[in-house]
Amino acid sequence: MKQLRKWSRTIHRDLSFFFSGVIIIYAISGFVLNHKKDFNSDYSIKTYDFSIEGSYPLSQEMFTKEKIIAILEPYNEAKNYTKHYFPSNETMKVFLKGGSSMEVNLENGNALYEQLRKRPIISKFNWLHYNPNKWWTIFSDIFAFSLIVITLTGLIITRGKKGLWGRGGIELLIGIIIPLLFILLT
């Protein structure tokens, strides 16, 4: 048993160090994905209200590509213009690269610009959490198996009152019961 504990300690330590980066990334992305209703972890979304000068109602003909690009200049979106169209006689919609958009009410000149920006780090963490390709699937499978090994080796490292047959065993049972209750009661 002493030799088993020694090997368990070594395996537990080495796998824990090796996979600590992935554990942190998955923990952070798991946390923000749990709160998707409260927080968009992939994109930062800002909206800006402004008015377009002119005599109302504004005519569709005045909105050439060049005029729209000039309107987008203050928002640093001029180079991101993709296209525009008129879903109705009263509305113009402008599409921009990256998902941003602008909508203009031709009746009163009120405009709403919605700016979408990819969150640089957390969106990449989420991308990994969603399992993006074959190689990451293989790595993730190895990681998942290693988490089982880390857990099992951790269970036998500590002995005595704090180990599996003492306080550790009670904590293990509680850790098993909580997810079972969620499964059974929801």
Tokens describing residue 2? 């002493």
pLDDT digits (tens, 9 = 90+) for 125-180: 999 988 889 999 999 999 999 999 999 999 988 888 988 889 999 999 999 999 99
Strand partners, 93: 85, 103
What 3-state DSSP class applies to 13? helix
Alpha-carbon separation of residue 133 from 115, 138, 139 (angstroms) = 29, 9, 10
Which among 140, 141, 150 has a CA at the least distance from the CA of 14? 150
CA distance 25 to 20: 9
Q: Which residue has the tokens 């600590």?
A: 20
CA distance 123 to 121: 6
- The one-letter amino acid at 45: I
* Statement: residue 55 has pLDDT above 90: no
Instruction: Give percent of the chain above pLDDT 70.
Output: 100
* pLDDT at 53 (0 to 100): 86
